[in-house]
Chains A and B, each alone.
Chain A
């Protein structure tokens, strides 16, 4: 159940007809049940990478081997809910095999019980993001893809949601790929942190974190943060960043 990614090159042609490389020589392997977190400056091509890995974009050079027969659960950068279906229907449509007990537990963890019959248009962005998370977890995925699931939320809510994601990832033990530009999220959630350069994105460094998620103390987190800062600053000193 491991994920192998080897993207030799992904380019876009802009309106003026010029080709721009977005991803170059991106290569990594993620073990079964591992949480890999990608951190990089915004616009570096993280979402493009996730689209390729999710199988939504076939137009690239290289190869991606997804965990065999694994169901994919994905949280997009925007919630992408069906506005004409209720919260519960949105989740059930993606996960028709989910049983009522598991769904109830999921709705409880994500504090969505009061909103089951609401339509997405009636939800705040934070709630809609939680519904998107519920949908991704409800399919009991073998492979989970999270594209900046915590952006544009206030700190308190982001922190709660991050803990909820950690709880869910630990309880279901899925191979997870998380993309973020928040170093804090990366360190608290990841088993391995990949630092990406600015466009065209390549992997600058790979930092394994061996302490289990729950046991990570503030001191350790601060140390890893300093290490990441040191490495990314080196990058910008070379004139690569932004």
Chain B
């Protein structure tokens, strides 16, 4: 069996200097200040000041609705994202490797790439009913083509000389895939995940608004109908906060890990 040697250089961690932290904090406070000043000019009706939105967040949090809706939305994002990434990576790899698959798949890819998200969502709801399956499938279908395109590019860029090396040394298929192919695809998969995640964040709310009885998108739809702007912003900002946390805690460390062997930019 192939045993992983224990003497590995540690992965480059994503340590930030205090200076960067300070700039981030500064940029955040500037945003808050601008918001507050704009609220003073526009009037609390159209743009409630930060404390009013904070109060709405606290209220929604206390009732438990905030966490329930955020949780439901996150679950949909996770399912649709996983589905689209898995399928997209597999299809992209096949299309990059096999010419026939590329020929057959390409027109469909162009169709899906240019099909408006709204059309997919509405059709999914019409054909599959206002169900969870329809919502998740619609979100996944929207994300799928970009993942396919990115991974296909990555597969086309695979280094054939390393393939030859793996063949000469008779590496078993799985080991070659894991250690020769996958590390080359990793930056492309990471890029697809990154752009795909932001796409899913955007589309999931539309799908919820149109045909789900809960989730952040549904709540924003209700707030829109009631013209309840503090509630609208409360959900929007909480959602953005969750996205930011996931990006920093999950996505960025993953990217740092897969590219740890590259000499880093200064």
Contacts and interface: CB of A to CB of B under 8 A. Distances in A.
Task: Please say whether chains A and B are actual partners in one complex.
Answer: yes
Contacts of A88: 5, 7
A139 B171 CA distance: 11
Contacts of A119: 9, 261
A93 B170 contact: no
B7 A96 contact: no
Interface in A197-213: none
A134 B9 CA distance: 20
B52 interface: no
B99 interface: no
Interface stretch (A70-78, A178-186, A228-236): A70-78
A85 interface: yes
B164 A84 contact: no
A76 B165 contact: yes
State the main secondary structure of chain B at its contact with A: loop
B42 interface: no
A76 to B, nearest CB: 7
B162 A117 contact: no
B168 A93 contact: no
Given A82-B179, A93-B175, A117 B161 contact: no
B2 A82 contact: no
A156 interface: no
B116 interface: no
Contacts of B262: 83, 121
Given A93-B175, A96-B2, A56 B167 contact: yes
Interface string B156-187: 00000110110111110001000110010000
Size band of the B side of the interface?
20 to 34
Interface string A59-95: 0000000000001111010101011111011001111
B256 to A, nearest CB: 13
A168 interface: no
B183 A82 contact: yes
A237 B242 CA distance: 78
A54 B168 contact: yes
B18 to A, nearest CB: 29
Contacts, number: 72
Contacts of B9: 86, 117-119
A117 B1 CA distance: 20
B7 A116 contact: yes
A89 B162 contact: no
A92 B165 contact: no
A116 B5 contact: yes
Contact of A121 (B165, B170, B183, B261): B261
Interface in A105-148: 116-119, 121, 135, 139, 145
Contacts of B7: 86, 88, 116-117
A86 B2 contact: no
Contacts of A118: 9
Contact of A83 (B167, B169, B261): B261
Contact of B183 (A55, A80, A84, A86): A84
A31 to B, nearest CB: 22
A93 B164 contact: no
A82 B169 CA distance: 13
Contacts of B161: 76, 78, 80
B51 interface: no
A116 B161 CA distance: 23
Nearest to A90: B179
B2 A93 contact: yes
B263 interface: yes
Contacts of B162: 80, 82
Contacts of B8: 86, 117
A151 to B, nearest CB: 16
Nearest to B176: A93
A74 B5 contact: no
A72 B168 contact: yes
Interface of B: 1-5, 7-9, 161-162, 164-165, 167-171, 175, 179-180, 183, 261-263
15 contacts: A54-B168, A55-B168, A74-B169, A76-B161, A76-B165, A80-B162, A80-B165, A82-B162, A82-B179, A84-B261, A85-B179, A89-B5, A94-B165, A96-B2, A145-B168
